[in-house]
A and B are shown apart, each in its own frame.
Chain A
Amino acid sequence: MKGEPMAEHVLLTYATRRPYRTAPVMPDGVQYDPVKGYWLKNDTPLLTTKEFLEGDRVSKKCDQETGEDQKGE
């Protein structure tokens, strides 16, 4: 059916747009220890390091970008 173009859905009109990333930007020198099951930096759990605690990664940044945790494709 021809005619005026449809208005955009209101949920799309108000959608925010950000670059898509499949993985966060990680600090240099970190590695995941599959046996321990957590990330390390210089043999120290990454999450206990000052660099991590003062960064964005332990904030609600992920939530702000994706709605809630674990709701990926």
Chain B
Amino acid sequence: MSPYVLILSGLYDFSTDLVILRLEESGIPYVRLNREQLADHRLTLDPLVPEMTIQGPAGTYDVGLDLRSVWFRQPVFLRNTPPVPLSPEDQLERSQWAAFLRGLCVFRHAAWMNHPAATYLAESKPYQLSAAATCGFHVPATLASNDARRIRQNFPQSVVIKSLDTVLLREGDDCLFTYTIVNPDTELTDDAVAPAPLFAQRALEQKTDLRVTVVGDDVFAVRILSKGTGIAGDWRVVPKADLEYRDIALDDSIADRCRQLTRYLGLSFAAIDLIEIPEGIFFIEVNPTGEWGWLSTVDRPIDHAIASWLADPTKDDG
């Protein structure tokens, strides 16, 4: 069988299930490969045709010119050093399968959600901010720096501290994660900043968070509230039961900027974080691999939109 859609995912990536159910309903031929199960298959890529044959638990497929789209739900680079040494076998498996998956970029005729090269660049927060400003967004004053003195000078009253890239660290049996820090209690000393750069940003007061999910030309926007109002600080630390996602219709100009930014970054999918304050709407960040499954509902059918795009990526061209 020659699939129209190639899905490169992970075994516990439940959002992938949602989209596959929609593809199945539509009768669109697809194949899903999970990174944990790649070695259970026999995969051969001929980069010159291009063609990939798949034999294994997922079935038997010839991935080739019928391929319309690739849904790439894989890390594009290694963020963390493992806390324990990897065996040579593990190292080999990680590096070579990652290279194999990147090698699937030979399917240039297919549309990608998202192309790894575009994701790699779009994951850079400084680059995102620059791109967002180019696309007409208001962007908070920001420095990427390891210079505590400069940060204190530029943000004397209040400051938001963020990591430059997702902080996801391992220590023993624990996982460490850093949320956005608003006005840290501890002084920003040279010792506390110099060893690694961070993002320092103007704190936006009286804020309401907006999450905008862009799929091709479709835009889904929600306002994130707790007890009917915006949330000071990082909303992700608020208990789930206290969160409310209220659908909103963005101004056409903001919706168009979200689409424009997505295209500018070479993406077909983007999860964009905005902040609304009395002064206006500000761009905060874009997540090319952002999660969306928690937002998808019958009335907010992000899963349908992704499946529809994967089935016919050309529909947005008209």
Contacts and interface: CB of A to CB of B under 8 A. Distances in A.
Contacts of A2: none
A52 B291 CA distance: 17
Given A17-B175, A18-B174, A68-B166, A9 B240 contact: no
Given A11-B163, A66-B177, A39 B240 contact: no
- Looking at chain A's contact residues, is the secondary structure mostly helix, strand, loop, or mixed? loop
A45 B174 contact: no
B32 interface: yes
Contacts of A14: 161, 178-179, 181, 184
* Most-contacted residue by chain B among A14, A16, A24, A46 (CB, 10 A): A14
Interface of A: 6-21, 23-24, 32, 34-39, 45-48, 52, 56-73
Nearest to B191: A7
Interface of B: 7, 10-18, 20-21, 24, 30-32, 37, 56-59, 73-75, 78-80, 82, 161, 163, 166-171, 173-179, 181, 184, 186, 188-189, 191-193, 195-196, 198, 236-237, 240, 271, 287, 289-291, 293-294
A62 B32 contact: no
A47 B17 contact: yes
Nearest to B23: A37
A56 B294 CA distance: 9
A54 to B, nearest CB: 12
Contact of A58 (B178, B188, B294): B294
